[in-house]
């Protein structure tokens, strides 16, 4: 894949992360209601963390191991959240992770973005399986996964340490065999060549 893809849904654009997203990333990711329920967003969250994330996204795209998108509400272009795939090409599998800024909660945006990325993973990347997980303290994230056709595959007891507390990790998955391509709609642009997995 020579150029970073853009995924368009009815209400959202998923695009490459940009340097001018940094102020919005910091503003939204610094919210304790975000950091408390995510695995990899540090607290406190600073500009250095945003720069590191963008650099990690760029390196992951070049190496084919990650695709991290900025979520944007149409028609505006401001960053309102992040979603991405961590790709294990050997197994034709990827894990989805996501977060959305609090002012945009309860609008169905996370489900809409996740559905579009699942479609992209199966239809464009040729994946055989998509997985995701959430902390046991965040059942809302599990509801998103179920809405997107994923099923619960297991629970890892006290698997994650955040601060001084251990949390269980709830695992979800969806295989190509069980995938229903007609759920949700999306368009992709700026894809010149399919990636090699």
Q: Which pLDDT value is given to residue 117?
A: 97
Q: Is residue 88 part of a domain?
A: yes
| pLDDT score, position 182 | 56
CATH number of the domain that residue 61 is part of: 3.40.630.30
Domain membership flag for residue 1: no
Q: How many distinct structural domains can be found in the chain?
A: 1
Average pLDDT, integer, range 113-129 = 96
CA geometry: angle at 71 spanning 185 and 24, to 5°?
A: 165
Residue 2 has pLDDT above 60, yes or no: yes
Find where tokens 């303290």 sit.
137
In this structure, is residue 196 part of a structural domain? no
Task: Centre a 10 Å sphere on the Cβ of residue 189 and count the other Cβ atoms it contains.
Answer: 11
For 65-119, what is each residue's pLDDT tens digit?
A: 999 999 999 998 899 999 999 999 999 999 999 999 999 999 999 999 999 999 9
Domain contains 66: yes
In a domain, 20, yes or no: yes
Cis amide bond preceding 75, omega within 30: yes
Mean pLDDT of the chain: 90
C-alpha–C-alpha distance, residues 116 and 118, integer Å: 5
**Helix, strand or coil for residue 150?**
coil
Range of the structural domain that residue 176 is part of: 6-189
Run of H or E including 157: strand 151-162
């Amino acid at each position: 894949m020579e150029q970073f893809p853009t995924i368009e849904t009815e209400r959202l654009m998923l695009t490459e992360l940009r340097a001018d997203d940094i102020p919005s990333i910091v503003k939204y990711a610094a919210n304790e209601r975000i950091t408390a329920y995510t695995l990899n967003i540090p607290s406190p969250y600073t500009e250095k963390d945003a720069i590191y994330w963008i650099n990690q996204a760029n390196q992951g795209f070049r190496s084919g191991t990650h695709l991290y998108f900025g979520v944007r509400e149409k028609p505006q272009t401001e960053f309102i959240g992040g979603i991405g795939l961590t790709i294990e090409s050997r197994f034709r599998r990827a894990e989805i992770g996501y977060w959305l800024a609090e002012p945009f909660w309860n609008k169905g945006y996370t489900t809409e973005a996740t559905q579009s990325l699942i479609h992209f993973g199966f239809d464009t990347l040729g994946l055989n399986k998509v997985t995701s997980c959430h902390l046991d303290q965040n059942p809302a994230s599990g509801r998103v996964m179920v809405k997107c056709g994923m099923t619960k595959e297991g629970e890892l007891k006290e698997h994650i340490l955040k601060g001084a507390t251990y949390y269980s990790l709830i695992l979800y998955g969806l295989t190509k065999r069980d995938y229903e391509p007609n759920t949700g709609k999306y368009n992709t642009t700026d894809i010149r060549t399919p990636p090699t997995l």
